[in-house]
Amino acid sequence: MNQKKGTYEYLKNKQKLEVIKTIILFGIALSLYLAGYITVGSNKNYLTIVAVLGCLPASRSAVNMIMSLKAKGCSKEVYQNILNRFPDGVGAYHFYFTSYDKNFDISHVFVKGMTIIAFTENGNTPEADFEEHVKTVLTRDSIKGVNVKLYKDLDKYLLRIDQMLKLEHEKNREQDIMKTLFSVSL
């Protein structure tokens, strides 16, 4: 079970983990409440207070679960196409970016030098909004001058990766860019 962010298995594993964690946390809060109620015969006891306070992390976990379940990620078909074309593995899978106005479900991201290209299977994703959002996030992290392009056509995306792999580039910023992208996505 690979838990590294950006791998193909990551999203599915994260979704399962979030569901299990949420059920356990609410189960603990409920069991504390019931233990206090059964013991005292009333909900006016300290275990009720602890159970209510236990609902705070459980609720936070529920929000994380809902957000992770909302992300569709990369389909098996797209994953196979990318893997068949680039068996060594390039880029990262399953990004779900959230902004104040919109959410962006991105299947795959590839970074080379100061250029980021991304592929989405969601035809309704506004390209300009996504590109502006990523540039804004990177600028806040002191990474400026990055070119961002979102693709909705897989063949064009794969062709662009081929072209970018042949280019010379400056490697030192790629890891910083990917670290920032990972930190602002699910």
Give the count of beta carbons closer than 10 Å to the beta carbon of residue 168.
6
Does a structural domain hold residue 2?
A: no
Does a structural domain hold residue 4?
A: no
What residues pair up with 103 in beta bridges, in sequence order?
A: 98
Residues 65 and 150 reside in one and the same domain: no
Stated pTM of the model: 0.76
Does a structural domain hold residue 140?
A: yes
Give the count of beta carbons closer than 10 Å to the beta carbon of residue 83.
13
Does a structural domain hold residue 30?
A: yes
Does a structural domain hold residue 135?
A: yes
Residues 88 and 62 reside in one and the same domain: no
Does a structural domain hold residue 3?
A: no
Closest by alpha carbon to 185, among 121, 133, 116? 133
Copy the structure tokens of residue 71: 């992300």
Residues 50 and 102 reside in one and the same domain: no
Q: Is 113 left (phi over 0), alpha (psi -120 to 50) or beta?
A: left
Distance CA 47, CA 135 (A): 48
Domain that holds residue 32: 10-70
What residues pair up with 119 in beta bridges, in sequence order?
A: 108, 151
CA of residue 105 relative to chain centroid, distance: 8
For residue 60, which amino acid is it?
R
Per-residue pLDDT of the chain (186 residues; tens, 9 = 90+): 557 877 888 888 888 999 999 999 999 999 999 999 999 888 888 999 999 999 999 999 999 899 888 888 788 888 888 888 876 667 888 888 887 888 888 888 888 888 888 998 887 887 888 888 888 888 888 888 888 889 988 889 888 888 888 777 666 677 777 777 777 777
Q: Is there a contact between 161 and 91 (Cβ–Cβ < 8 Å)?
A: yes
Number of domains within the chain: 2
Does a structural domain hold residue 5?
A: no
Residues 37 and 51 reside in one and the same domain: yes
pLDDT digits (tens, 9 = 90+) for 9-46: 888 888 899 999 999 999 999 999 999 999 988 888 89
For residue 50, which amino acid is it?
V
What's the first-to-final CA gap in the chain, in angstroms?
Answer: 18
